[in-house]
Structure 1
Amino acid sequence: MTVADRSLTGELAAFAAELKFSLDPFQRDSCEALEGGHGVLVCAPTGAGKTVVGEFAVHLALASGGKAFYTTPIKALSNQKFADLTERYGRNRVGLLTGDQSINPDAAVVVMTTEVLRNMLYAGSDALHGLSYVVMDEVHYLADRFRGAVWEEVILHLPPEVRLVSLSATVSNAEEFGAWMETVRGDTAVIVDETRPVPLWQHVMVGRRMFDLFDTSSNDHKIRVDEDLVRYIRQKETVDRMEGWAVPRGGRGGGRRMFRPTPRPELLAKLDEEGLLPAISFIFSRAGCDGALTQCLRSRLDLSRPEHADEVDAIIEKHTGDLPKADLEVLGYWEWREALRRGLAAHHAGMLPAFRHTVEELFVRGLVRAVFATETLALGINMPARTVVLERLVKFNGETHAELTPGEYTQLTGRAGRRGIDIEGHAVVMWTPEVDTSAVAGLASTRTYPLRSSFRPGYNMSINLIDRMGAAQSRALLERSFAQFQADRSVVGLVRGIERNDATARKLRSQLGDDFLEYFELRERIRERERSIERQGRTDRRSAAVSSLTTLKRGDVVTIPTGRRAGLAVVLEPDASPGDPRPLVLTEDKWAGRVSAADFPTPAQTLGHLRLPRHLDHRTARVRRDVASALRDTGLGGGGRQRTGKKARAADDQQLQSLRRALRAHPVHARPDREQLARIGERYNRVQRETESMRQQVASTTNSLARTFDRIVGLLEERGYVDGGEVTDDGRRLARIYAESDLVVAESLRQGLWRGLGPAELAAVVSALVFESRQEGGYLGVVGPTQPIRRALEATVGVWSQLRHDEARHKLPPTREPDLGFVSGIHTWAAGGDLVDSLLASGDRGNALSAGDFVRWCRQVIDLLDQIRNTADDEEVAGTASKAVRAIRRGVVAVDAA
């Protein structure tokens, strides 16, 4: 034990004696608080050693004869932690539960994903008896839009005697989160450490030269960009302007300057020369990562060491030896292995899990020295590097390309610097003409990463809450959530804003006087009437468009008047839905998709008819091409825009004309200062509108989760899942379904929609409720390889459609649409097809899925089938689900299932 550790007492002294390092101050403070009987929230940077606090909680549980659960957000982290704790405490004392695996579940220490613990709490599992500590690793995941609610459910439901150890990345509102934890869990110590264990140096690489980002020569602690960097960029831009503009062949038109970034092989060679490997280069697309690796493979770059070749081959064989030999070619195995042998790799969610885990082990062991990765690597996986490279500071966030936030920048660069190995870490931003070095400096120096709750009640959560504690207590529990805690705190600021606005409005009113307020009210009534006339016109036009769309027949040729899809289109699948018809069309530009009334400012007019084949798969590129060609050959066209008659409607409106006459007759109308007062009046009105908006926000924010819960309960009562405040048998089945489309699954089972399906057919149908296309649009037409699949899918989509109407009526967020993009692929696989055919049969709008995505979606389908097997009261459906799981879990899907 070190000298510094001799002051430790009790169990902490015994625990520290087994460590190979002395405790940092934040680790010591956290452990002492824990041993003192407090819960703890520990916020510290990536790599700072937060997990030591979690391991001490395990030590305390074992020392007192109790039990500890160690929860993580993802299976890979659970496996990693299971291996660490098993090495320390032995296989008999440590278990693992991840959904895929169950190892020694009755052990005193069990590592699990957070969802597993949530499900145990709802089920009232016997495994909770004797539980004294729960470690929640990466607790900042509660901000995750899709899975974050699980963390709050666990925090709220754990028995009060269980001590909670929450480990989080550095967040800027740790005190707020800690204050909430104190209200729901009792005494909680908040320990925040913002010191990186390994100092981080920030750089910018311009061409083949690397500069420090910050000027560290002055002692005034002001943030300044390095002058040499600024000067060099200025010189480079001048030279580029002089040399980079070329006259195109033919001598006409303007030239254009093409910026060529530093080739990846040269970048890595430079980092190797500077002693900055191993490195992770973050590229915000899977294709970009694979392309970067291919670029390096085409070069002579080799970062490996000959003496490590056998060890690399052994690790590759350990993870991939069970892969079917026939599948290696389609998996890109040989190129992937060649890259690993040269010390290079890619890492992203589209890779086969076995490939990803191989890369992770080789990188941690220093046998792979450069990895091109998407940002998912920054979340949890223990893969620190000496250097992190950011090729761009913009990424696609699911909706648009957006600049990195300071929090994202901090999280990504947090991988740089390996504790106990490196004395410093390095972050390198690649310069392009779009990069503003001042903005980079702002990103690198800002420490704002607030934690925002994503907690919202859903059907499964609500039914479980009612079953456990009744509606009244459930409502009270929701009001104790972190989401409501944050919402209520925001109300304080809104109330202050209302008070300020009221004072401003009184002052403005006194400047205007009653006469002008009367006059100004007339002006506002005129504006509102004009807007009302315009709205009515839009409504009439939309009604006409809706009516015209409902009458379209298969093969009708129409013109889409405006927008990206403007031009000729043929109707492939009509839709007579009265409220929101969305016929499926194919345009002369080969685009296939659904259009709506929004695409038709004027009613759709049938220009002619095109004869279509009886069976037409619009997802096939060849079919789209042939139909589009036939459409263009019809020679149809026309269909101009109609006049809206907006001015005519306004002139004919008697109420509007009467208001205008009253305005002109008002005494204020003739005053010379009328427009000056009008500007004050505009401000007065703006303040009043802001105030009313804030009042509505206060009203909607207060008890907002409880109101949503009440609406959910209302819908569940209508459908017979709750009766008189009690959960029915159907409700209890819903309580065991944790899929995103939980109520659609429960309704489909209750109505017997999936009876009579074979195992592969059931897998195909349920895939529509888990699969999500990476490209916008999804799959809206009901397709399927067999008649039973098509029939079951049509019925399932019908259940969803009716549910969407009910959700709109109850003012609830809609359940997401079924997505049929994986139907053919999973059916091919579950029916015994090979990997190549299964990949080609599945994907996003004609693009085959990657092997990694294919395996991931197969496992998602397996997860839902397992829930159906355990939930369905129909023995036939339960048995079919069990067979379907076995049919899917083979080959690449079964290998390295962690």
Structure 2
Amino acid sequence: MPESLLERVPRGADSDAAYTGFVEWATDRGLSLYPAQDEAVIELVSGANVVLSTPTGTGKSLVAIAAHAACLAAGGRTYYTAPIKALVSEKFFALVDIFGAENVGMVTGDSSVNPDAPIICCTAEILANLALRQGPDAVVDQVVMDEFHYYGDPDRGWAWQVPLLLLPRAQFLLMSATLGDVTDLAADLTRRTGRPTALVTGVERPVPLHFSYARTPVHETVQELLDTRQAPVYIVHFSQAAAMERAQALSSIKIITREQRDEIAEEIGGFRFNTAFGRMLSRFVRAGIGVHHAGMLPRYRRLVETLAQRGLLRVICGTDTLGVGINVPIRTVLITALTKYDGQKMRQLSAREFHQIAGRAGRAGYDTAGTVVVMAPDHEIENAAQIIRAGDDLKKQKKIVRKKAPQGFVNWTEQSYDRLVAAEPEPLVAQMQLTAAMLINVIARGGDVFANVRSLVFDNHEPRSRKYELARRAIDIFRTLRAAGVVEVVDGSIRLTVDLQPNFALNQPLSPFALAAIELLDPADPRDVPNAPEKDAAFPAQSGHGGVGTGHYALDVVSIIEATLDDPRPVLSQQQFLARGEAVAQMKRDGIEYDERMEALEQVTWPKPLEELLAQSFEVFATSQPWIRDFELSPKSVVRDMFERALSFGELISVYQLARSEGLVLRYLSDAYRAIRQTVPSEAQTPDLLDLIAWLGELVRQVDSSLVDEWEAMTNPQDLDPAAPVVPPAPPSVLTNRRAFNVLVRNELFRRVQLAALQRDDELETLDPEVDWPGVLDRYFAEHDEILTGGAARSSALVSIDEADAAATGVWKVEQTIDDPAGDHDWRIRGEIDLAASEEAGTAVLRITEVLRL
């Protein structure tokens, strides 16, 4: 058994021993260092900073491991930072495997695992806030910054700059394939740290790239690449829709052999493709075609990555997001366009973006060369086809009418392609920002606050004019903080008047506001209880403590938490689209004129529960905590919408047509689950809220257990199984979490109540064909004007579950009492839960047996 890295490079090893031990460890694993890697490792163990700007595939991750090992040998503490949480968690698990669970921790903003470990994986923002709070005294001996080109990101670049400014004790390893000229940055780093800074750049790729410009249609180009053994081919698109359309189009050509199809089917086995997108993906991967983009469920992305790593997928249709730290072996990159929409306009790719994408081609240890093919625009491809059809016939050549680029089309040509291939990545441009949270962290550090702020504002990488803008911004923020009483000046000394929580600005920044807002709600709100005497009259919505909210405490808590989370834009856009459609239909029925309808539509948006209460509370909170204004409160209803309408994940995706965004939706639900669990204090957790939390966690787990399992595995990394299977395992039985399953049962019953309240006979008959729903509703509405669906109507007190004969029959008998306006409660919906079918489906399978009046 080869020695571990820590055995090869033990604590106390000098620079020579650290270098020798690392090289021996790498050799034990069949790895020989490239010259660039060797140079970087020598500089690191010697104590120098290193800027490692080498092409993709030159082993930057191995250099980072050497850096961590050298730091631990010297008894230091080292931080690894990356731009996205997914990459941070991936690196966390990789480093646990190498250094052991006790030596590696992680902080990402919503997770904190082993935070006192000597190696910490975190997002760049986490380290930046730590540097602001502790400055030169921070216990940070080394910083490894991956994907360092994010330094030039307009929104997040500040987080890559701040550690360079404020951690002079640290040794830095800055890594990216596309940095451009960093001479000035390296000189500044040497000035600040007193260490020499080595530039390891301009290295020849171990796997050279061959570039070409194609004027043949994509399917013909792909076929030629397959025929000439240039697979696997990654086809790059700049939208998820285009990637899906390409996969669909390519499924008509023969990508793999019958034997390869059988091998894929055997590897996939019983993998659950149980969503709309999953059923499409199943068809594609069985044909040797993968799909890869950020909107997919994690388990689908991992399946595609693993099948690709095993050489089973010959074509992958995806987006340009593959370039950030994803380990998928690719021989050929086929780029379908040299333009992209950047959120504001269509523009040509920058040299940095182009080389980030192209650099994925060519696998060290597998390929002798990589191939990069850039497609010409469609009109140019059609012109080339006309010329080929004309052949040598001069008459036909003269008749050719060359197509031009469509009006408004951002064009590219072979000259554009040549320029990008030859171009070096653009120089990085500093993107410093200053917010109230940043300033509060600096003030909290103590010492000479004025000097510390002045240094941050004027001794950075910005041009002179920008520094003066930052200075004016700092003065404005300081005045606001002082007016709010958060900051005071005593005998010329600036100090905070409040105690900051230890993780201020590190975790969910709006969590303190959420806690304050939850205190406005009353867990014992009578509107939540059927037949409460004070119901409705004494507790009008938003009328003061105990009556604030909508009448359902648990759901109102969820709405407060949801308002603090990042917006899942695809969901909100679809909610708004459907809401406007319903509003137009209603206004047409009301006879409202077109112009008036269009004006009114501007006010229709997605559901925003507690919007007025949250806005008022936010303003009050901000008067004493003005830093909160750095962050935007965004009321929305996704989790609440699902729960109120008793929607499953699949139904949510179907209702809002979100098949291409399943992963984004599930990630939001997972974030909401963790935020509720972490933010709401135990004394504010009612049984209904605990039920809702259990339901949400089980919903996420049943759709894709990897999200919840990964989070929980982080707290016990030593329990990880290193021999991960090709196919992620199925989630545990939905019957295991009894509390969550009971909520699923209640939701299925309440779905019938809601549909009955809306008198949707057709939908009810589809769900329960054996029940005469039209007749039932006629009889009910002959007695009552409506079916209530408020907080009291969905109370657990109105549901009974009989498990008495379950062992023998495999069935639970269930009953839902309908909440009528008179409070008679004599109408019941009765049914059976098929336990075996529920376990198979991952949700409660209900059959209604009767609806009756007692």
For 1:75 and 1:737, the matched residues in 2 are separated by 13
Residue 642 of structure 2 is matched in structure 1 by 828
Letter in 2 for 1:722: V
Does the CA contact (< 8 Å) of 2:102 and 2:117 recur in 1? Answer: yes
Question: Which of 402, 414, 435 does residue 458 from structure 1 map onto?
Answer: 435
| 1:557 aligned partner | none
1:286 & 1:440 partners in 2: Cα distance?
23
Separation (CA, whole Å) in 2 of partners of 1:746 and 1:377: 38
Taking only the aligned residue pairs, the percentage that are identical comes to 26
Instruction: Tell me what 1:889 maps to.
Output: 697
The 3 A distance-change label for structure 1 pair 338 and 307 is same
In structure 2, which of residues 310, 316, 320 is the aligned counterpart of residue 365 of structure 1? 310
Instruction: Identify the range of structure 1 (829-838 vs 348-357) with the bigger mean alpha-carbon deviation.
Output: 829-838
Q: Which runs of 5+ in 2 are unaligned?
A: 3-14, 381-404, 406-411, 522-541, 577-601, 711-854
Residue in structure 1 matching 2:52, options 34, 38, 42: 42
CA shift, 1:743, in A, is 9.3
1:709 corresponding residue in structure 2 = 474
Match of 2:484 in 1: 719
1:66, distance to aligned residue in structure 2 (A): 3.8
- Matched residue, 1:232: none
Matched, 1:205 2:231: no
CA distance in 2, matches of 1:803, 1:205: 59
CA deviations 1:651-683 (Å, max 9, x no partner) are xxxxxxxxxxxxxxxxxxxxxxxxxxxxxxxxx
1:16 aligns with 2:23: yes
**SS state of the match for residue 448, structure 1?**
coil
Distance in 2, matches of 1:11 and 1:203, equals 44
Name the counterpart of 1:4.
none
CA gap of 1:102–1:802, structure 2 versus 1, over 3 A, is: closer
Which residue number corresponds to residue 232 of structure 2? Answer: 278
Q: Given that residues 78 and 112 in structure 1 are in contact (C-alpha distance below 8 angstroms), is that contact kept between their aligned partners in structure 2?
A: yes
- Residue 777 of structure 1, CA deviation: 12
For 1:792-811, list aligned pairs within 5 A.
792-798=610-616
Are the counterparts in 1 of residues 439 and 453 from structure 2 also a CA contact under 8 Å? no
Cα distance change on mapping 1:784 and 1:165 into 2, 3 Å: closer
Aligned counterpart for 2:453 among listed residues 460, 469, 475:
475
Does the Cα contact within 8 Å between 1:50 and 1:167 map onto a contact in 2? Answer: yes
Paired position in structure 1 for 2:223 = 269
Cα separation, 2, equivalents of 1:78 and 1:283: 25
Matched letter for residue 698 of structure 2 = R
1:192 aligns with 2:200: yes
Contact 1:765 1:793 in 2 (8 A): no
Q: Distance in 2 between matches of 1:156 and 1:478?
A: 7
Larger radius of gyration: 1
Amino acid at match of 1:143: G
Give the aligned partner of residue 358 of structure 2: 413
More deviation, 78-87/379-388: 78-87
Deviation digits for residues 1-24 of structure 1, max 9, x if unmatched? 9xxxxxx94321221122234333
Report how many residues are paired.
Answer: 598
Change (3 A) 1:416 1:98: same
- Does the 8 A contact of 1:459 with 1:742 survive in 2? no
Match of 1:771 among 567, 580, 583: 567
CA distance 1:56–1:817, change in 2 (3 Å): closer
Alpha-carbon distance in structure 2 between the residues aligned to 1:355 and 1:407: 29
| Per-residue deviation, residues 146-173 of structure 1 (Å, max 9, x unmatched) | 4333333444444x43322221233223
Q: Which of the residues 872, 876, 879 maps onto 2:684?
A: 876
User: Offset of 1:45 from its aligned partner?
Assistant: 1.8
> 1:306 matched to which residue of 2?
259
1:424 to 339, 344, 369: 369
- State the Cα distance separating 1:136 from its structure 2 match: 1.8
1:430 Cα deviation after fit? 1.3
Q: Confirm or deny that 1:852 pairs with 2:663.
A: yes
Correspondence for 1:77:
87
Match of residue 137, structure 1, among 140, 146, 151? 146
Q: Distance in 2 between matches of 1:842 and 1:708?
A: 42
Q: CA deviation at 1:879?
A: 11
1:443-477 Cα shifts (integer Å, max 9, x gaps) = 11111322223331223222222112364144134
Partner Cα distance (2:690, 2:200) in 1: 48
Amino acid at match of 1:796: L
Matched residue, 1:758: 553
CA gap 1:816/1:777 in 2 versus in 1, 3 angstroms: farther
The corresponding residue for 2:827 is none
Q: For residues 731 and 108 of structure 1, what CA distance do their matches in structure 2 show?
A: 25
Partners of 1:332 and 1:476 in 2: how far apart? 53
In structure 2, what residue type is equivalent to 1:14?
Answer: G
Q: CA 1:448/1:9 → structure 2, altered by over 3 Å: closer, same or farther?
A: same
Letter in 1 for 2:553: G
What is the match of residue 36 of structure 2?
26
Matches within 5 A, 1:207-222: 207=216
1:56 to 63, 66, 71: 66
Are 1:287 and 2:241 matched, yes or no?
A: yes
Contact 2:80–2:121 (Cα < 8 Å) also in 1: yes
Give unmatched runs, 5+ long, in structure 1.
2-7, 208-261, 322-327, 489-697
Letter of the 2:256 counterpart = L
Counterparts of 2:679 and 2:114, CA distance in 1: 25
Q: Which residue of structure 1 aligns with residue 176 of structure 2?
A: 168
Structure 1 residues 784, 285: CA separation in 2 closer, same or farther (over 3 Å shift)? Answer: closer
SS in 1 for 2:81: strand
Q: 1:446 to 1:64 in 2, by over 3 A?
A: same
In structure 2, the CA distance between the partners of 1:800 and 1:281, relative to structure 1 (3 Å rule), is farther
Q: Which residue in 1 is equivalent to 2:589?
A: none
Cα deviation, 1:221-267, whole Å, max 9, x if unaligned, reads xxxxxxxxxxxxxxxxxxxxxxxxxxxxxxxxxxxxxxxxx253x43
Matched, 1:839 2:653: yes
User: Residue 421 of structure 2 is aligned with which of 425, 444, 458?
Assistant: 444
Give the superposition deviation at 1:380: 2.2
What letter matches 2:53 in structure 1?
A: C
Task: Read off the aligned partner of 2:363 and give its amino acid letter.
Answer: R
- 1:55-97: CA deviation from partner (whole Å, max 9, x where unpaired): 1112213333444333322233234334443443445544455
Deviation by residue 1:465-508 (Cα, 9 ceiling, x = unmatched) = 21123641441342366xx42323xxxxxxxxxxxxxxxxxxxx
Q: Kindly provide the amino acid, as one letter, of the partner of residue 274 in structure 1.
A: T
Partners of 1:439 and 1:828 lie apart in 2 by: 48
Judge which range, 450-459 or 437-446, deviates more. Answer: 450-459
Per-residue deviation, residues 494-529 of structure 1 (Å, max 9, x unmatched)? xxxxxxxxxxxxxxxxxxxxxxxxxxxxxxxxxxxx
Q: Which residue type is aligned with residue 706 of structure 2?
A: D
Q: 1:407, 1:448 within 8 Å by CA — same for their partners in 2? A: yes
1:43–1:167 CA contact under 8 A, matched in 2: yes
SS at match of 1:453: coil
Q: Residue 369 of structure 1 aligns to which amino acid in structure 2?
A: R
Q: TM-score, with normalisation over the residues of structure 1?
A: 0.59
**Deviations 1:10-61 (Å, cap 9, x if unpaired)?**
3212211222343333322222222222222222222222222211112213
Q: Tell me the distance in 2 between the aligned counterparts of 1:31 and 1:305.
A: 47
Is contact 2:558-2:639 (8 Å) kept?
A: no
Q: Which amino acid aligns with 1:711?
A: D
In 1, Cα distance between equivalents of 2:92 and 2:502: 32
Structure-2 separation of matches of 1:411 and 1:451? 14
Structure 1 residue matching 2:637: 3-state secondary structure:
helix
Q: Distance in 2 between matches of 1:466 and 1:57?
A: 32
Is residue 2:345 matched to residue 1:400?
yes
Question: Residues 392 and 878 from structure 1, CA distance in 2 versus in 1: closer, same or farther, beyond 3 angstroms?
Answer: farther
After superposing the two structures, state which structure 1 stretch, 21-30 or 401-410, moved more. Answer: 21-30
The answer (yes or no) to whether the contact 1:826–1:842 under 8 Å persists in 2 is: no
Partners of 1:773 and 1:819 within 8 A in 2: no
Distance 1:777 1:704 in 2: 39
Residues 126 and 506, structure 2, Cα contact 8 Å, conserved in 1: no
- One of 153, 158, 161 as aligned partner of 1:149: 158
- Following superposition, the deviation at residue 421 of structure 1 comes to 1.4
